[in-house]
Structure 1
Amino acid sequence: MNAKYEDELEITPHNEWSQKFWDDLIPFKDRISQHPFFLNMASGQLTLTSFRYALLNFYPLVAHFPSYMSLALAKATNFADPGVTESRNWLIQNIKVEERHLNWYRDWAAGFGLTVEELDSVKPNPAMNGVNHFLWSNNTRGNLAQALAATNLAIEWATGDWSSHVYEGIQTYADHPEIHINKRTIAWLRAHAHYDDIHPYEAMELIKRLANHDVKMQQQAFEAVKEGLAYYELALDECQRVHELSLKQDKPVAESA
């Protein structure tokens, strides 16, 4: 094993195709990070009902994330191909990190009044669950570049963006009598808003190494990112729909504390 890799995956400058790949995806990523639901979440405009709905129904995505990555890891077997060994090592390192995030997410949900039993028994509706089905399918049927693109670039890139805004505004919810904000309940947000934001850049670096001389693979990875973000957006549209319905019966947290 490459000892240097264990310390850090070097991020290299983009070449022509990878720079276009990255730039062309920014508008699709921004549809997630700037989605009205996350803007409302960051500004304290969600009702407690809609916040809980999102935490509950996005839980399977967080809980299964290490499994999606494990499916990608199973594809990293041909070490003679460029980027495969680096992808294998990176996935092994970060699967354990994602497992730790599950516990932090549970703490966040607990701070908003959800139990572990509720989380573990949730059955999201199709709009919320589509992203999970896509990631299972993509990581099972796609190649290694597609798997990294959909999971570690699409989902982690957009999540790092919106979580930084929500982290900045999370104290807006602190005065609500049914919400408890402390270091444990914001650990997931803090991680994704700060040190974990390197993950999508590392995923892009791995995609570059895997697909640098394969135009078809480049296009497959690009489409995997777009499709993953599209399913993410469907889930957020559903969260926003539930939020708008909840406003008929309740006030935003910022107005009801």
Structure 2
Amino acid sequence: MAVAAFAQVGDLWISNGDRKIYGVLSRPVDNRGKHPVAIVSHGFNGSHSFGKSYFGALNALGYQVYTFDFPCGSLNSRSDSNTMNMSVLDEVSDLKAIVRHFRGRPDVDKNRIVLIGESQGGLVSALTAADMPKEISRLVLVFPALCIPANWTERYPEVADIPDTTRLWGVPMGRRFFTEVRDMDVFGTIGRYGRPVLIVQGDRDNVVSVADSRRAAGEVYKDACLHIIRGAGHGFKPDEFKESIGRISDFLRPASR
């Protein structure tokens, strides 16, 4: 974890009704009263550890950075590790609750709240921004899994085809996850967000099609840029992440002024 010497890092639990969300907040230490905030959402079976990689670069730009564990989003989640209850809609609800929390904090510039989402967290961030277009100032999608509804509907063409338990990469998931995503019109929804969007993806991603990101950037979003990292797959090596965080920093720098 790269943490700037001028940052304070600590655990932060946020409530969404009865759901308790564990996360870590890294805050710049300076004399400014309010800071922009970047909220980092992990992918399938990920954790808050993913977002710690953003601390140093974004703290240096003046951002608070919050990274968290989606309840039921991972076998390693400190919020709730029961992945049988994983739900994209619940994750959207959790992310909205986190946004509301930071909008209510006196040390946050509520006009500069940024979402950064990786893979499934990218889908969740895109859907959340579509529902909160005035509350989210910028959106960053890192190899976003916009394909989740289409992929699973192709695998399970009928609701009756969905088993009680599906295992993906060793992670058990319940029927609800798959019944909910069937009705999602991702590309018809995410375009409701009209503010600046950055999408970062590798051209050798064999999990999420680059074509979906091209479609989102070129046809769906009104103000979007797609940055392709040559040779990168679904997940970045250190040099690839360095390129990604550099592009993200450039994208977010105007919002820090």
Bin of the TM-score, shorter chain as denominator length: under 0.3
TM-score for both structures, normalised by structure 1:
0.24
- Select the structure that is richer in helix: 1
Q: Normalized against structure 2, the TM-score is what?
A: 0.24
Higher relative contact order (CA 8 A, sep 6+): 1
- Highest Rg: 1 or 2? 1
Higher strand share: 2
